[in-house]
Amino acid sequence: MARHSTKLRPQLVTAALMAAAITTTSTGCFWGFTSAGPSLGIFALPIPVTPYLQKKEEDKFWNHERYDRVPILGPIDDSGGPPVALDPPSDDEVMRALEKARPVEGGVPLLYGRTRNDVRIVKEKIADYVDPVRVYPLIGPAQQHHAHYKCTIYYEDVRRIGWPFPHTLKDQDAREVVYIDHNHLHMVGDVDQGPTMP
């Protein structure tokens, strides 16, 4: 009889340890242990996102928030001078446009990498004009103001190559040209009362 009880003892200890592990690790909010409320099932687990996709979405939102929208300004001032465009493109906008046209981000560690050093940006306004009045849906009568900029980027292009023999290539007089358009709208008529109809 004593032998029979000693054989059951390790099984009882194992069962007690498993029950203790289940009860201490379960908070009551996991799949099968939910006591009340809706459950997402397998979708309750977090899904890992690669840094590449995360940065891509952040850059997309950054561009939308700062550069992809067209501002609507008040009427053009009738002081006699030509209308002046908004500010020229920022350095961030120029570098993002260059990165979109000729990307250098990424590379393979210890095999290939490329960087731009000593960046200098020269911005020139090449056109500034206003279209005649026309009616835009959801806006009303407005004039579109165009400003075109030629941005020349001077930089040192550094390429580090690690295979078959590690070496570095430097182009100290690299340059790229990016054209950026800044367009915005000017309302026409009395903005407070709305457009007057003939």
Is the model more confident about 105 or about 57?
57
Strands (E), the chain: 72-73, 112-130, 134-136, 140-161, 167-187
Mean pLDDT throughout 85-103?
Answer: 91
Which value, in Å, is the radius of gyration of the alpha carbons in the chain?
A: 32
- 177, with CB counted inside 10 A (0-12, 13-18, 19+), is exposed
Q: Would you give the DSSP letter of residue 33?
A: G
Is the model more confident about 98 or about 4?
98
Mean pLDDT throughout 47-63?
Answer: 89
Q: Would the pLDDT of 32 be above 70? A: no
Distance CA 165, CA 28 (A): 58
For β-strands 134-136 and 112-130, DSSP reports them as unpaired
Angle subtended at Cα 9 by Cα 5 and Cα 27, rounded to the nearest 5 degrees:
145
What tokens were used for 99?
């990165």
Is the model more confident about 156 or about 49?
156
The pLDDT value recorded for residue 110 is 84
Q: Would the pLDDT of 198 be above 70? A: no
161 falls in which pLDDT band (50, 70, 90)? very high
Upstream peptide bond of 164 is cis (omega within 30 degrees of 0): yes
Distance CA 167, CA 161 (A): 5
Which of 19-33, 96-110, 111-125 is the least confident region?
A: 19-33
Is the model more confident about 193 or about 179?
179
Strands (E), 88-166: 112-130, 134-136, 140-161
26 falls in which pLDDT band (50, 70, 90)? low
- Contacts of 26-33 spanning 24+ positions with Cβ under 8 A: none
- pTM equals 0.68
